Structure 1
Amino acid sequence: MLDNELHFLLLRTFNHSNRRIDEAIRRIGLLPGQPKIIECLAEQDGRTAKEICAECILDKSTMTGLLNRMELRGLVRREIRETDKRSYRVFLTESGHDYASRIAAIMQQADETAMQGMSETERETLREGLRHVIANIEQGGGGINHAILRQAFGFHACGACY
């Protein structure tokens, strides 16, 4: 049954949550991806583009496009770094800070809806378990465990290796 498969549960959770968050974000006039950047800068303003990419799990071209649109809307401003003229730091504008509080309220509501009926202990256990899953995936690189494939199929069945 798929309801016992972690990958399915994570995907289903993400899809439902993302759909609701995306609808709320669009209602306040933001595009997907922009709230992550605003949250990232609200937590620590003045990050470099590279730091934002790493924190938000965005590739450079996607992030650059998002920042360009955000700068045009007056949500962020860029400042050339004194120590390295080839890079810049990104800061929230006053408007960006206003959006940060609206985004925080949307995300708080999404979290509350998702964890409705759970005790604080259950909520913390869920968060800790998900952090552990993330660490495992990041550490393992998400790659294929060939030993498990050999054990399951009796031969090396990985098409990626051919």
Structure 2
Amino acid sequence: MLDDELHFLLLRAFNHSNRRIDEAIRRIGLLPGQPKIIECLAEQDGRTAKEICAECILDKSTMTGLLNRMELRGLVRREVHETDKRSYRVFLTKSGRDYATRIAAIMHQADELAMQGMSETERKTLREGLRHVIANIEQEEEE
């Protein structure tokens, strides 16, 4: 049965969660991909585009387009990197920080819905298990 296959369960969980998040994000006027970047910068502002790509699992061309649109909307600003003039650091603007608060609420609601009825121990076990799955796959990709 497919319901016993991890890859299938991960895909179904992702699709359901992503659809719900995507609808909420579009209602506040953001495009797919933009919330990940805002969350990443809210956690650590001033990252380079390369760092954001790695953290958000985005390719360089997608990142460039998203950042261009976000800069035009006044969500982020770019500054030339102090030590590497070929790269730049990305910072949230006040508007970007305001969106970060709204995004955090949307993501929290999605997470709470997904883990509804689970004890804190079950939630912790799920997160640890998923981190383990991710680490296994990332290690294989590096080799």
Could you give the per-residue CA deviations for residues 68-115 of structure 1, whole angstroms, max 9, x where no partner exists?
000000000000012111100000000000000000000000000000
Could you give the per-residue CA deviations for residues 5-32 of structure 1, whole angstroms, max 9, x where no partner exists?
0000000000000000000000000000
Percent identity over the alignment is 93
Q: Higher relative contact order at CA 8 Å, sep ≥6: structure 1 or structure 2?
A: 2
Aligned equivalent of 1:112: 112
Could you give the per-residue CA deviations for residues 34-73 of structure 1, whole angstroms, max 9, x where no partner exists?
0000000000000000000000000000000000000000
Structure 1-normalised TM-score?
0.85
Secondary structure (helix, strand or coil) at the match of 1:31 reads coil
> What is the alpha-carbon root mean square deviation over aligned residues?
0.4
- How far apart, CA to CA, are the structure 2 residues paired with 1:133 and 1:97? 31
Structure 2-normalised TM-score?
0.96
- How far apart, CA to CA, are the structure 2 residues paired with 1:24 and 1:98? 16
- Matched residue count: 138
Structure of greater Rg: 1
- How far apart, CA to CA, are the structure 2 residues paired with 1:62 and 1:34? 10
Secondary structure (helix, strand or coil) at the match of 1:14 reads helix
Which of structure 1's runs of 4+ aligned residues deviate more than 4 A? none
- How far apart, CA to CA, are the structure 2 residues paired with 1:89 and 1:14? 30
